[in-house]
Amino acid sequence: MQKGFLDGVLAYIIFGLYPLYWKLLADVPSMQVLAHRIVWSIPLVVVVIAVTGQSAALLEGARHWRHLGIYTVSGLLMGTNLFVSVWAVNAGFIVEMSLGYFINPVVSVLLGVIFLHEKLRLFQWLSVALAVIGVGVVTFGYGKFPYIAFTIAFAFGFYGLVQKKAPLSPVQGVTIEMSILAIPSLIYLFVCEAQGDGAFGRSRAALNWLMVGCGAMTVVPQLLFCSAVQSIPLSFFGILQFIGPTMNIIIGVWVYGEDFSGATMIGFILVWVALVVFTAESFIVKKPTEVTCNYSDDDDDDSVIIWLA
């Protein structure tokens, strides 16, 4: 259990440090960073598939058009999140990005109510109400609607919704998603290079290596998370899920000087309280359920579906 806990902590710490890494790539267009994240992830997930003996199952699963359709949709949602998380950092919206990760669990619950006709208990509705009020206060503090936060939260939420139908294991699913996204990503990078706009190979060596490292930064936290969920209880993740977005806020405010007014702080506190109520209620009322990385084959389960973008 100790190793699983450390794996989980490390996964969320890496996630929390993402803004520092993406800022190092500020001179590279965000779309190119996204393409490199996808392309350089492929060798890593292929190695994991080979080492864990999942190659045959992956090839068998990829033969079905229905499977490919599911993973195409989930891959596009994942790609949206991967792009926004990079763009938001380098556009100066780290704090707003973190809000998206905080409200995602509540958004996922609402999507379950709308699309899966799930019923919410009293304290779940309370957490939704607190989150809505909190977002309203943040909107007032910003003076504009936090569209970046909602893009992230809903992309994650719909990703989880689609994953309810995902037929393969987490690593197999991610491999197919990345492979589907890799085709347009490679075409895009080749076009950029042909037009002389590509950053890779035309930048200093350190920047080139940072682009290559995008693959590891994308895949390693997910693999650590998958390792963690096998050996630690769900209750631990109610605490661990605060690490990444909280680190994002600290980095955004204290390192890069983003605005964090009194109204914004009050709004975030309401969202935090909503998340605490939501997490605590799930353990008090019901027996903790299984956590999965990004995969669930039961429409009625309460698995936590998480992708560390």
> What is the pLDDT at residue 85?
93
Q: What is the largest CA-CA distance in the chain?
A: 59
> What is the pLDDT at residue 296?
40
From 83, 94, 132, select the one nearest 246 (Cα to Cα).
Answer: 94
What's the pLDDT tens digit per position in 53-73? 999 999 998 899 999 999 999
Q: List Cβ neighbours of 131 (8 Å cut-off, separation of 6 or more).
A: 103, 106, 270, 271, 274, 275
Q: List Cβ neighbours of 63 (8 Å cut-off, separation of 6 or more).
A: none
> What is the pLDDT at residue 202?
78
What token pair was written down for 61?
A: 């699963």
Average pLDDT score over the chain: 85
> What is the pLDDT at residue 228?
74
Angle between helices 262-285 and 94-116 (to 10 degrees): 40
> What is the pLDDT at residue 124?
81
What's the pLDDT tens digit per position in 143-186? 888 999 999 999 988 988 887 888 888 788 889 999 999 999 99
Average pLDDT over residues 195-211: 88
How many CB atoms within 10 Å of residue 176? 23
Give yes or no for a contact between 77 and 164, defined as CB atoms under 8 angstroms apart: no
How many CB atoms within 10 Å of residue 215? 20
> What is the pLDDT at residue 248?
94
> What is the pLDDT at residue 178?
93
State percent of the chain over pLDDT 90. 45
What token pair was written down for 72?
A: 């195409």
Give yes or no for a contact between 82 and 37, defined as CB atoms under 8 angstroms apart: yes
Of residues 1 and 249, more confidently modeled: 249
pLDDT band for 14, please (50, 70, 90 cuts).
very high
What's the pLDDT tens digit per position in 253-307? 999 999 888 888 999 999 889 888 877 776 676 544 444 454 444 444 444 444 4
> What is the pLDDT at residue 288?
46
First-last CA distance in the chain: 25
> What is the pLDDT at residue 17?
95
The sign of the torsion formed by the CA atoms of 71, 72, 75, 81 equals: negative
Give yes or no for a contact between 60 and 106, defined as CB atoms under 8 angstroms apart: no
3-state secondary structure of 113: helix
